[in-house]
Structure 1
Amino acid sequence: MALVKVYVNYKKSILNPEAQAIQKALGRLGYDNIDDLKLGKYFEITVKDGVSRADLDKEINEICDKMLANYNMENYHYEIVETEAAQ
């Protein structure tokens, strides 16, 4: 089995008001050393055995492009973790 960890974040040119609000709140709590804060999405996808790495890469990219990330506003990257029993 493989576990795919997908990370989706806003592009640098896109404002992220929720992350800005969190950063400001942290400043009010005394955490003044924070220069920047990013907020994104995280997905875990467990894949059945027998899928080749090339097919898996193709399929995960399609899933991200079609469903998990908005191409106009977000970037994504992922890592594939080979496991015996992905949880």
Structure 2
Amino acid sequence: MKAHVYVTLKKTVLDPQGQAIHNALKKMQYQGIEDVRQGKYFELRLDDTLDAASARAEVDRIAREVLTNPVIEEYTFELE
């Protein structure tokens, strides 16, 4: 089983890297881009002995305690 974890800055936190990318896209004349937010992606390979509920709980705990800074970041994840 795999877990895909996506970490992004909270909407209330300024994202200078996302803003720089957005500005570059505008200068390159890409159309229709309203905003850019950058983030991090993690792929976790999980032991086959975990059932779906245990895997979900463990990934949630890892994302919350290790992969994110809860003051400025939020996360989502999906199991495959």
How far residue 3 of structure 1 moved from its aligned partner, in angstroms, is 0.7
- The total of aligned residue pairs comes to 80
> Are residues 1:75 and 2:74 paired?
yes
Q: Deviations over 1:37-76 (max 9, x none)?
A: 1111000000111101221111111111111111111110
| Runs of 4+ with >3 A deviation | none
Q: 1:84 maps to which residue?
A: none
Quick one: which amino acid aligns to residue 72 of structure 2?
A: M
Q: Supply the distance in 2 between the matched residues of 1:41 and 1:57 (Cα, whole angstroms).
A: 19
Q: TM-score, normalised by structure 1?
A: 0.86
> Are residues 1:56 and 2:61 paired?
no
Gaps of 5+ in 1: 82-87
Percent identical residues: 36
Q: TM-score, normalised by structure 2?
A: 0.93
Gaps of 5+ in 2: none
Q: Supply the distance in 1 between the matched residues of 2:25 and 2:48 (Cα, whole angstroms).
A: 44
How far residue 80 of structure 1 moved from its aligned partner, in angstroms, is 0.4
Secondary structure at 1:15 match in 2:
coil
Q: 2:15 maps to which residue?
A: 16
Secondary structure at 2:26 match in 1:
helix
How far residue 33 of structure 1 moved from its aligned partner, in angstroms, is 2.1
